[in-house]
Amino acid sequence: MKNNILKVFTGLAYSIIYFPILVIGLLSFNKSVKGYSFTGFTFNWYVEIFRDDRLLEAITNTLLIAFLSTIIATIIGTFTAIGINNLSKSSKFKMMIINNLPIINPDIVTGISLMLVLSLLPISFGMNTMLLAHIFFSIPFVILTVLPKLKRLDKNLYDAALDLGCTRLQAIYKVIIPAIKSSIIAGALIAFTMSIDDFVISYFTTGNGFQNVSLWIYSRLGRRSFNPAVYSYNTLIVFITITGLIVFNKVNNKRSLKEIK
C-alpha cells in the first residue's frame, strides 16, 4: 500500500516535469504555425531547421559555446580542485566560500555583475564575452563535483608517483586524473547542461547580435519570425538523450548480469 502511494507521487512528478516537453513534441508535428490548435500532421518543421539560417546559426552557436566552455571549464576546474585540495584547512574553507558565491547568487545578479565588469574592459560584447561568462559559471560546478573524490584519494599516491620517477605533470595526468576520472566526467556533464540551457547570463553578456537558442527564442516571442522548427530541434535533443540513456541502461544491465554469472 505504502509503496503505491510513493508510485503515485513519482508518476505525478514525471507528468508535471514531462508535460511541457510532450506539448513541445506535439507542436513540432503540427501544421499550424501559431500552435493554437492541431491542424494536421507534418514533418516539415524538422526540414525547416536546416532552412532557417538564423535558427541554424543559433543552434551552432549554442553547441559551440557549450562544447568549448565545457572543455575549458573542466580543465581549469580539475586543476584548481587539485590545488584547493592541498590548501590548509582554513584557506580551503575560504576558497570554497568564494567558489560557491556564483552558485548561490541568482543568475540575474551574476549576469549583471559580468556585464558591469566586462563593460570596463576594452573588448566588444559578443561570442567572446558569452564564452567567458559560460566558462565562469561552469568552473564552480566542476570544482564542487571533483573535490569530494579528491578528498578520498590516498595522499601518498602523488608522492609515490614522484618517487617512482614521474615528473610533477606526469604524476598529475598519469596518476591523479585517472583516479578521479568519473567525477571529472560528471562535472563536465553538469557544465555542459548548464551551458546548453542558459538564458539569463547569456542575455546580459552577449552583443553584436550573437545569439544562442535561448536568446533566439526570447527575441522572437510572439513575433512572426518565431519559427516552430525550434520545437523540432528541442524534440530531437530530448529524443536523442533519452534513447542514449535507454541503450546505455540496457548495456549496463547486461554487463552486470554477466558479472553475476
Partner 1 sequence: MKSLNKLSYPYIVWMTILVVLPMILILVLSFTNIDIFNIGSFNFTFDSFEYLKRPEVIEASKNSIRLSFFTTVICLFIGYPVAYYFANTKSKNKQLYIALIIVPVWSNMLLRIIAWEKLFYPNSILNMFGISFDLIGTDTAILIGMVSMYLPFMILPIYSVLDKMDKSLIEASRDLGANTLNTFLRVVLPLSLSGVLSGVLMTLLPSMTAFALPERLSGGKTLLIGNIIEDYFMKTGNINAGSLISIILMFVITFLFIGLLRFDKEGDTLL
Applying the rule CB under 8 A, the residues between 166 and 195 that interact with partner 1 are: 168, 172, 193
Q: Cα torsion at 180, 182, 187, 189 (round to 10°)?
A: 160
Interface residue with partner 1, options 26, 47, 64, 164 (CB under 8 A)? 26
Task: Calculate the CA 67 to chain-centre distance.
Answer: 9
| Three state DSSP letters for 182-223 | HHHHHHHHHHHHHHHHCCHHHHHHCCCCCCCHHHHHHHHCCC
Distance CA 173, CA 213 (A): 36
Nearer to partner 1, 76 or 127 (CB): 76
Interface residue with partner 1, options 40, 106, 122, 178 (CB under 8 A)? 106
Task: Calculate the CA 251 to chain-centre distance.
Answer: 24
**Could you identify the residue written with the cell 510572439?**
222
Applying the rule CB under 8 A, the residues between 152 and 171 that interact with partner 1 are: 155, 158-159, 168
Distance CA 227, CA 44 (A): 11
Q: Is 119 near partner 1 (CB under 8 A)?
A: yes
Distance CA 238, CA 142 (A): 24
Q: Is 45 near partner 1 (CB under 8 A)?
A: no
Per the DSSP assignment, residues forming a β-bridge with 41 are: 30
- 3-class state of residue 35 by DSSP: coil
Applying the rule CB under 8 A, the residues between 211 and 250 that interact with partner 1 are: 213-214, 217-218, 221, 230-231, 234, 237-238, 241-242, 245-246, 249
Interface residue with partner 1, options 42, 57, 72, 199 (CB under 8 A)? 199
Q: Is 126 near partner 1 (CB under 8 A)?
A: no
Applying the rule CB under 8 A, the residues between 74 and 103 that interact with partner 1 are: 76, 79-80, 82-87, 95-96, 98-103
Q: Residue 166 Cβ, how far from partner 1 at the closest point, in Å?
A: 13
Q: Is 14 near partner 1 (CB under 8 A)?
A: yes
